[in-house]
């Protein structure tokens, strides 16, 4: 009875009122108007109201997903889902027990609470409002209003400020420590019983992190103003899905765009004067340290000849159904937690161990950084926001403004480790870790990060030592390092912690440069040409190799049947990954093999020509291996029941009930800009799991922003929602959506009356 009265009281507070009208005596107040595809337009008079409205609207669309995230960051997955189940951390799956140990040990809640005291008042208000809005939705929904997938589950519960602090910390560590969670959670000193968990060392090239972003300046746009094309590549399922929103708050703040689960405002989008997008940066946001251990005790390490004890933290993880809790002790050093990856020789022996120090641990500056970006009136102000806060955790910022300036800023929270320090502090095995991070000598105090004046946190690299470029032409990034964001103006060399310099670019980056040059070579860019450009689905790899593969095929007319069938199928392919393309599936399978062959290219990489080198297949040496790769690809498709000449949309698709929705786009490794990472589907063929997500094209006219966008996987994860697959169909049909930004446009596109919530 008490539960019913609480819900009744909550429902009584839900009233419809004009947008922006204050509700006297209420601590939290917001209005929510839904337009086409269920996009919420949230309006509030203060920052608490903004967070309140955003959380409520997000929970309406994705309650189960967000509730599970709060269980994850609280270290409660084993309790609710079993210790052997899987959690999505970063962009990888790990066992629930490792996830729980990691969050209970590495998330330092007392430190986060203390750090929250230094947040700006508006950042604190946003977080407070988000907690209230999420809890308000639970009250309003009641038992029957909870989606079937999580109805009645103990992990669907009201949240507190601590939950938001944990979730923010997780997002900050998304591209760094989080991917080593099992390696940290299962580290044990020699002589103790180590947990029997498979631990892998993630390859940054295989983590699935990606994106493309373009900023066009006044010299190359049809309207003489700036334009942004944003094409972030993020998961189709799980907590790292984007969600669209339009927020109108105090002080003239008005931003439309997207955020991740638990984000209280847009972190990628546009306002009246600027537009921006993000791509995962090649900079390293942590360093590794090799520790020399005290011969008398492997839980002590030597620094400048002195023995220092490791700090210990014992965590207890509750289990379900009366099973005994699991207790584990983790060890940490002045450089961070100890970690192990035995399969890669990273072990904890009597002589040495390894520790990880993360620049984003405790980074609570991101909210203020994105608020400042959202209220910027020029790319200069965006540059100042990222530079002064150093709060952007792990992404490039690509932006343009109505004045016609373009920006690429690879300015994030990175360790202040210069090239000189990296060299002086290297160890005999530093080179073995090159693909993951910089390994430093932990036996020397001088090898800790340098502390520069006036940075927002000690040990961070000043923005002046990072890469930021402003231009009137164009700048772009497809996840390679800062070195080249426009081939005409390569950047000077910086610290290796910011990424490789004068090294081969990925095929997706090279495709970006090639296609951008072709786009601008045909005239100045406008919305129509930008839309066609974003979904051209060309494969640079195909353009580079298929003529030579055809020559090999012609010279091997008497080859095995599988090779002959493969040659015929590729000869008829249009070299694109359109839904209608026949032969795309075969090339995908072929290139997954051929693209990895050592010595593939006859013309080597030339730093003076990063766009067209390396190139030309080394067919004289690899001809037989290339044809073998083709035969193996044919065999793979035969075994999967996929016809060699099947339309790509019949192979790569998502299911909406019994409806198959074809998905265009292809592998980034094949130089496809409209990247879709597809995996075998339980219903046959392939399903996209990671790739093109929220695509926006934003320019400006005299009245404000002009934005076309699509969210490939749609707004809601609730299968019963009308907005679970509506934009997916639009994406499949390449039907762009002109986003409503002004009051008249919102009113015309509204699909329901404004909803006012307050308490």
Q: How far apart are CA 554 and CA 535, in angstroms?
A: 32
Q: Where are the alpha helices (DSSP H) in 390-495?
A: 419-424
Nearest CA-CA partner of 392 in 232, 267, 261: 267
Which secondary-structure segment (H or E) carries 300? strand 297-303
Q: Hey, what are 117's tokens? A: 């005291």
Which helix H or strand E contains 2, and what residues bound it?
helix 2-12
CA distance 624 to 557: 13
Which neighbouring-strand residues pair with 230?
213, 696
Angle at 445 between CA 443 and CA 446, to 5 degrees: 115
Query: Sign of torsion, CA 443 445 446 450?
Result: positive
What secondary structure, in 3-state letters, does 72-110 show? HHCCCHHHHHCCCCEEEECCEEEEHHHHHHHHHHHCCHH
Helix, strand counts (H, E) of the chain: 20, 32
481 is catalytic: no
> Residue 478, CB half-sphere, CA atoms under 13 Å: how many?
22
Q: Give the DSSP H/E element, type plus range, for residue 64.
A: helix 47-73
Cα–Cα distances (Å) from 48 to 16, 60, 165, in that order, read: 19, 19, 16
CA distance linking residue 632 with residue 619, whole number of Å? 18
Closest CA to 346 of 415, 437, 445, 282: 437
Distance CA 472, CA 405 (A): 5
Alpha helices in 142-269, H assignment, sequence order: 161-172, 181-185
**Marked catalytic residue, from 211, 387, 485, 693:** 211
Structure tokens at 528: 């129509």
CA–CA gap between residue 553 and residue 630 (Å, rounded)? 10
Q: Give the helix ranges, DSSP H, for 445-574.
A: 507-521, 527-534, 540-555, 561-571
The strands making up 406-410's β-sheet, listed across from edge to edge, are: 467-471, 406-410, 395-401, 274-280, 268-270, 254-259, 243-248, 39-43, 29-35, 755-758
Largest CA distance in the chain: 85
| Inter-residue contact 639 to 647 (CB < 8 Å) | no
* Omega before residue 614 within 30° of 0, cis: yes
Tokens 């609280």, located at residue: 74
**Which stretch of DSSP H or E encloses residue 588?**
helix 584-594
How many Cβ atoms are within 10 Å of 517's Cβ, its own excluded?
14
| Pairing outcome for strands 92-95 and 311-317 | unpaired
* Active site members: 211
């Amino acid at each position: 009875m008490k539960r019913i009265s609480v819900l009744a009281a909550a429902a009584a507070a839900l009233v419809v009122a004009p947008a922006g009208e204050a509700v006297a005596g209420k601590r939290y107040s917001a209005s929510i108007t839904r337009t086409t595809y269920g996009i919420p337009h949230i309006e509030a008079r203060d920052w608490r109201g903004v967070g309140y409205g955003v959380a409520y609207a997000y929970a309406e669309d994705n309650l189960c997903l967000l509730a599970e995230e709060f269980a994850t960051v609280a270290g409660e997955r084993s309790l609710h889902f079993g210790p052997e189940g899987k959690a999505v951390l970063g962009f990888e799956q790990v066992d629930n027990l490792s996830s729980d140990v990691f969050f209970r040990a590495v998330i330092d809640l007392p430190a986060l609470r203390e750090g929250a005291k230094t947040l700006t008042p508006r950042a604190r208000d946003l977080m407070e409002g988000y907690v209230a809005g999420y809890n308000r939705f639970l009250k309003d929904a009641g038992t029957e209003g909870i989606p079937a997938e999580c109805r009645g589950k103990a992990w669907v519960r009201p949240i507190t400020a601590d939950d938001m602090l944990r979730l923010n910390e997780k997002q900050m560590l998304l591209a760094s420590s989080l991917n080593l969670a099992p390696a940290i959670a299962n580290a044990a000193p020699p002589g103790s019983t180590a947990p029997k968990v498979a631990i892998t060392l993630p390859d940054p090239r295989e983590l699935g992190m990606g994106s493309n972003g373009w900023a066009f300046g006044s010299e190359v746009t049809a309207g003489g103003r700036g334009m942004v094309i944003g094409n972030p590549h993020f998961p189709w399922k799980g907590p790292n899905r984007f969600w669209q929103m339009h927020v109108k708050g105090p002080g003239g703040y008005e931003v439309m765009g997207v955020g991740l689960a638990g984000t209280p405002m847009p972190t990628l989008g546009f306002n009246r004067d600027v537009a921006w997008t993000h791509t995962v940066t090649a900079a390293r946001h942590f360093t590794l340290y090799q520790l020399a251990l005290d011969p008398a005790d492997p839980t002590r390490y030597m620094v400048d000849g002195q023995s220092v004890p490791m700090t210990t933290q014992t965590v207890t993880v509750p289990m379900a159904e009366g099973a005994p809790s699991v207790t584990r002790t983790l060890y940490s050093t002045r450089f961070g937690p100890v970690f192990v990856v035995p399969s890669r020789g990273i072990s904890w022996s009597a002589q040495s161990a390894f520790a990880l120090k993360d620049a984003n641990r405790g980074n609570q500056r991101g909210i203020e950084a994105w608020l400042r970006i959202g209220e910027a009136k020029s790319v200069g102000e965006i540059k100042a926001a990222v530079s002064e806060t150093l709060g952007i955790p792990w992404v490039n910022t690509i932006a343009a403004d109505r004045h016609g300036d373009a920006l690429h800023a690879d300015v994030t929270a990175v360790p202040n480790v210069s090239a000189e320090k990296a060299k002086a502090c290297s160890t005999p095995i530093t080179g073995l870790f090159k693909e993951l991070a910089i390994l430093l000598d932990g036996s020397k105090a001088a090898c800790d990060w340098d502390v520069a004046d006036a940075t927002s946190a000690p040990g961070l690299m000043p923005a002046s030592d990072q890469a930021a470029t402003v231009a009137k032409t164009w700048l772009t990034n497809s996840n390679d390092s800062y070195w080249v964001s426009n081939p005409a103006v390569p950047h000077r060399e910086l610290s290796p912690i910011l990424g490789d310099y004068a090294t081969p670019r990925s095929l997706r980056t090279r495709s970006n440069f090639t296609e951008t040059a072709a786009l601008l070579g045909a005239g100045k860019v406008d919305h129509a040409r930008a839309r066609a450009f974003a979904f051209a689905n060309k494969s640079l790899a195909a353009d580079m190799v298929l003529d030579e593969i055809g020559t090999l095929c012609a010279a091997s007319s008497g080859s095995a049947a599988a090779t002959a069938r493969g040659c015929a199928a590729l000869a008829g392919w249009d070299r694109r990954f359109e839904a209608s393309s026949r032969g795309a599936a075969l090339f995908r399978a072929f290139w997954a093999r051929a693209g990895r062959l050592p010595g593939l290219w006859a013309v080597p990489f030339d730093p003076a020509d990063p766009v067209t080198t390396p190139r030309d297949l080394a067919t004289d040496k690899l001809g037989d291996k290339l044809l073998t790769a083709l035969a193996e690809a044919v065999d793979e498709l035969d075994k999967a029941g996929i016809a060699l000449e099947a339309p790509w949309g019949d192979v790569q698709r998502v299911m909406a009930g019994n409806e198959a929705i074809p998905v265009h786009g292809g592998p980034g490794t094949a130089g496809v800009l409209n990247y879709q990472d597809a995996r075998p589907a339980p219903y046959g063929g392939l399903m996209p799991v990671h790739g093109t997500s929220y695509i926006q094209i934003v320019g400006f006219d005299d009245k404000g922003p002009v934005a076309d966008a699509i969210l490939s996987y749609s707004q809601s994860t609730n299968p019963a929602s009308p907005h679970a697959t509506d934009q997916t169909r639009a994406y499949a049909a390449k039907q762009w959506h002109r986003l409503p930004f002004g009051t008249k446009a919102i009113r015309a596109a509204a699909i329901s009356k404004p909803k006012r919530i307050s308490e």
